[in-house]
Amino acid sequence: MPTIYEQLRADIVSALKARDAGTATALRTADAGIQRAAMDANKPIDDALVVGTLRKAVKNLTDAKAEFAKGGRADLVAANDVEIKVLEKYLPRAIDPSVLEGLIAAAIAETGVQSRKEMGKVIAVLKQKPEAGLIDFGAASKLIQARLV
């Protein structure tokens, strides 16, 4: 089974052969971002790096889409929607919200954290879990803050 990065590279070739300029551009941009992230971190390209880079790209596109919507630029909103859908294909499915709630409750109980100031301890415990690759830590952070005083 090919890695996520190998699949992305193969899909670039397929998009180019199919003359799908939008998909090819989105995938080439993602590929460049992945290569840049690997060089910056001085690490080889692996699935964790690819997923992290793609999540960051999707988050940036989502933020930009919100700004474009505020500015009334429906054309750019649509373009970002297409690019987000292309990139999300390579991301692992998100963890079920009820499972995430359970993991957070267990991590809070394990650490004994009482305040938001100690939220980093809960995040550190979550990052050690086998499900860490599926967790959206932005959403998890909001859930943790809601549980802590």
Q: How would you classify residue 2: left for phi > 0, otherwise alpha for psi between -120 and 50, otherwise beta?
A: beta
Tell me the HSE value of 71 on the side-chain side, using a 13 A CA sphere: 10
CATH number, position 139: 1.10.10
Q: How far apart are CA 44 and CA 39, in angstroms?
A: 8
Mean pLDDT computed over 18-37: 94
> Are 65 and 17 members of one domain?
yes
> Are 83 and 21 members of one domain?
yes
Q: Model pTM?
A: 0.70
Average pLDDT of the residues of the chain: 89
Per-residue pLDDT band at 83 (split at 50, 70, 90) = very high
* CB contact set of 3 (below 8 Å; sequence gap of 6+): 46, 47, 50
Hey, what are 136's tokens?
A: 């959206």
CATH number, position 83: 1.10.1510.10
> Are 81 and 8 members of one domain?
yes
3-state secondary structure of 111: helix
Count of CB atoms situated within 10 Å of the CB of 126:
20
pLDDT 10s digits, 124-144: 888 888 777 778 788 888 888
> Are 25 and 69 members of one domain?
yes
Hey, what are 39's tokens?
A: 């060089």
> Are 132 and 105 members of one domain?
yes
Domain boundary among 68, 88, 108: 88
Q: How far apart are CA 43 and CA 22, in angstroms?
A: 29
Type of residue found at 132:
A
> Are 69 and 111 members of one domain?
no
Q: Are 81 and 65 in contact (CB under 8 A)?
A: yes
> Are 103 and 125 members of one domain?
yes
Question: Does 149 score more than 80 pLDDT?
Answer: no
Type of residue found at 61:
L
Show the domain range for 119.
Answer: 97-147
Per-residue pLDDT band at 146 (split at 50, 70, 90) = confident
Per the structure, the count of domains in the chain is 2
Q: How far apart are CA 52 and CA 58, in angstroms?
A: 10
